[in-house]
Amino acid sequence: MTKKIGVLALQGAVTEHLQALTKLGVTATAVKSPADLEGVDGLIIPGGESTAIGRLIREQGLEEPLRKFFDAGKAIFGTCAGLILCSTDSSHAPDELRLGFIDIAVERNGFGRQVDSFEALLAFVGLAEPVEAVFIRAPYIRSIGDDVRVLASIDGKIVAAENDRVLVTAFHPELTDDLTVFEYFLKKIS
């Protein structure tokens, strides 16, 4: 049976995620409203601007449906801004949305501004080969909870982590031809 993966399509690198999933033979669908979550087996919250995406989640009435989706045991993958939104970290502006799917504290724009963007090959736990990683105004993970496992770090900063159903990366796997991180995520979907 083909897995159906939703990509939160409010802002950010939506098309690139949909294309990556399609290359893997997965049914990919844009999620813009609560109804779009019907029949979806897993969800990607893409990079973009976390404050804008959080505001749009609230405006589209998606906050509670996303929490119910998670509570129903579904797998979620947050990339860059998606990592921030999936976190439990409320140390920034108090009105910013945090979905609380993974127990991590985050340093926004941890590697600097847009001009400080870079690419790297990263060792990634569970993958045989290093992954191509594109960092654009990327966050990093300052600390993790007891149920969180570190998957990749660069310069001592955590840039990928997981718990049983949530995968987060500070980088943009959708901006390379390397689909191994997407394949890793798909294994979380039962």
List residues with catalytic annotation. Answer: 80, 172, 174
If we measure between CA atoms, which residue out of 183, 87, 176, 71 comes closest to residue 140? 87
CB 166 within 8 A of CB 75: yes
DSSP type of residue 130: P
Phi, psi of 71 (to 5 degrees): -65, -25
Count the neighbouring beta carbons within 10 Å of the beta carbon of residue 22: 12
Contacts of 148 (CB under 8 A, 6+ apart): 102, 103, 104, 161, 162, 163
- Measured in Å, how far apart are the chain's first and last C-alpha atoms? 11
Q: What is the Cβ-side half-sphere exposure of residue 21, based on CA atoms within 13 angstroms?
A: 25
Residue type, 110: G
